[in-house]
Chain A
Amino acid sequence: MNESASIIRQAAEAKPAGNSMLRHARYVVSENPVTGFSFAMFMLIALCALLGPFVVPYDPLASGPSTLAPPSFAHWFGTDQTGRDIFSRVVVATRLDFVIAIASVALVFAMGGFAGIAAGFFGGWTDRIVGRISDTIMAFPLFVLAMGIVAALGNTVTNIVIATAIINFPLYVRVARAEANVRRDAGFVQAARLSGNGDFRILLMHILPNIMPIMMVQISLTMGYAILNAAGLSFIGLGVKPPTPEWGIMVAEGAGNIISGEWWIALFPGAALMLAVFCFNLLGDGLRDLVDPQRRT
């Protein structure tokens, strides 16, 4: 029964077959070298997150003899107030920032994606309730709401993840709802229903896989925003506690030194943050070109 449904699904979706998808991917990458570059950057960031603590030259938490030393051969990014090596700290921090971003995006994908699909598929009351919840979230300036949530839930990293997920909720709902709504009466859904699948089964096994490509684009587009948001929260002193290496808090630690000219303390973590966000934004644009050529700009 499922076989026939999946054949119909393939026909209804009329997606390009694997081979041409690959060709299209190659075309996008070669047409837009920026996308290729951002894939490479992404690999580098992932590598830092995975291996960072094992390859850095210094202990990121250990103070050294030379304090506030400018970048040199021994300390590529210089040292901070207590003589800690900034290069090691920037590299090690990648993991924490990366984990916060991935965890919050995964959480919002689960909550917002599911709520959105259900809203688009069932309509009616489900749609109204989900819509009302996301409208209420959207009624707040998002960063301000995140501050409020972290303040209310308590000042921890977990709560930064939750707050970041909540403020992204409406974005995921909107995309998932629109995509599910278009497909609710599609041929493959009717076929699945006729072959005796229940609503939830159709939702998870038939609609979700079909909107995955678009959701993936959404994920990489919001990754950058999630990192920015988490770093902003830790910049104002929420969540991550010093001396834990994290980009936002490292910039905050170096902020006081900017006016006395020690630029390297804030610049390098800030630049790392910027590059990571830049990479995710470019990657998101590239993925969108791949999945949805019509929206290419």
Chain B
Amino acid sequence: MLATLAKRLVTVIPTLIGVVIVTFLLTRVLPGDPAVYFAGPAATPQSIADIRKSLGLDRPLPEQFARYVGDLAHGNLGNSLSTGRPVVTEIESRLPASAELTLFGLILSLAIALPLGILAAVKQGSWIDHTCRVVATAGVSLPVFFTGLLLVYIFYFRLGWAPAPIGRLDAFTSAPAQITGFFTIDSLLTGNLEAFRGALGQLLLPAVTLAVFSLAPIARMTRASMLAVLASDFVRTARASGLDGRTIIFTYAFRNAMLPVVTTLGMVFSFLLGANVLVEKVFAWPGIGSYAVEALLQSDFAPVQGFVLAMAILYVALNLLIDILYGVIDPRVRLEG
């Protein structure tokens, strides 16, 4: 297992190199002068020239690249133009908010999509099957920012069930002591039930928005792979041996059907991380997505570059995790690896 892991880790390296090269290219080579970006809208030719020099942009490209990689190795992503703070600390402090939202959205989406997909496959052609199909097609068609606004209108304005979409906590509740950075978990750990209720209330609508968007591929894949597994010989054998339906579906079919579903999780994460940006904007969620959007609109380039890089590294790490998970579920992969 360890050897497989090491081998898989090695395959990450070229991907990471590619990611670093692309983020470098995005700033340095494409049309548009990065010095102008970094200098901001009120720049004079003199200040632009100064910045070009201080950023090392007057050097040849390979040297610039080496410097960029060196900075990265020291965890230096540059400073934000508008706040003056280092991008790394800003991203670090905002990452838990985004991670909590994304994770909660994913759990919610799995909790809905898996049972839906399984039921749709077991009772093929029934109303559940049709519901699954409609939900899956509607889910991918709904623009995620639109779903969010719709939910806000219904549950905040009309019904008054949800709190106002103004971030992680309302103005009257103080944040729980920082342990994990996840407000819901921290407040539970410190026994601060009021903060827990507040944080969960704020989290629910954006998480549901993310879930609606991401459940379609999971539900679809679960249904398709359950159908394939249920039609296979070993399930027929299990049935012929007189095992009851529950055991067959959960112990035999589900575990095997999970493999393609785990593979689609990679795509689901790509969806989730992208949709996260839009959801954060709708719900004024103080995560790294809204940080990047604010910076983008002010042509403040360092945060955007840092954000793209952070997201890409996160995504590569998640894909690695999925591969490891795959090995845990399917022992054959481990042996062959």
Are the CB atoms of A144 and B157 closer together than 8 Å? no
B32 / chain A contacts, CB cutoff of 8 Å:
152-154
Q: Taking the complex as formed, is B128 at the interface, i.e. its CB lies under 8 A from any CB of chain A?
A: no
CA distance A146 to B150 in the complex (A): 25
The tally of CB-CB contacts under 8 A between chains A and B is 147
Q: Taking the complex as formed, is A196 at the interface, i.e. its CB lies under 8 A from any CB of chain B?
A: no
Q: Which residues of chain A from 76 to 113 have any CB-CB distance to chain B below 8 Å in the complex? A: none
Known A-B contacts A147-B277, A147-B304, A281-B141; A237 and B31 likewise in contact (beta carbons under 8 Å): no
Give the residue among A142, A224, A258 with the most B Cβ atoms within 10 A: A258
Which DSSP category, helix, strand, loop or mixed, fits chain B's interface?
A: helix
Contact with A along B278-321 (1 / 0, CB 8 A): 10011000000000110011010100110110011001100000
Contact with B along A131-161 (1 / 0, CB 8 A): 0100110011111111111011111000000
CA distance A258 to B153 in the complex (A): 6
Q: Taking the complex as formed, is B26 at the interface, i.e. its CB lies under 8 A from any CB of chain A?
A: yes
Known A-B contacts A228-B143, A237-B297, A258-B149; A140 and B269 likewise in contact (beta carbons under 8 Å): no
A231 / chain B contacts, CB cutoff of 8 Å:
143
Are the CB atoms of B153 and A281 closer together than 8 Å? no
Q: Taking the complex as formed, is B146 at the interface, i.e. its CB lies under 8 A from any CB of chain A?
A: yes
Q: Using C-beta atoms within 8 Å of the partner chain, give the interface range for chain A.
A: 35 or more
Are the CB atoms of B165 and A224 closer together than 8 Å? no
Q: Taking the complex as formed, is B140 at the interface, i.e. its CB lies under 8 A from any CB of chain A?
A: yes
Q: Which residues of chain A from 201 to 252 have any CB-CB distance to chain B below 8 Å in the complex? A: 224, 228, 231-232, 235-238, 248, 251-252
Q: Known pairs A144-B277, A146-B274. 13 more at Cβ < 8 A?
A: A140-B308, A141-B271, A141-B273, A143-B278, A148-B304, A151-B296, A153-B31, A224-B140, A236-B281, A255-B282, A259-B156, A270-B150, A278-B137
Name B's A-contacting residues (CB within 8 A).
14-15, 18-19, 21-23, 26-27, 30-32, 137-138, 140-146, 149-150, 152-153, 156-157, 164-165, 224, 269-275, 277-278, 281-282, 292-293, 296-297, 299, 301, 304-305, 307-308, 311-312, 315-316
Closest 5 CB pairs of A and B: A143-B274, A136-B18, A270-B146, A141-B273, A278-B141
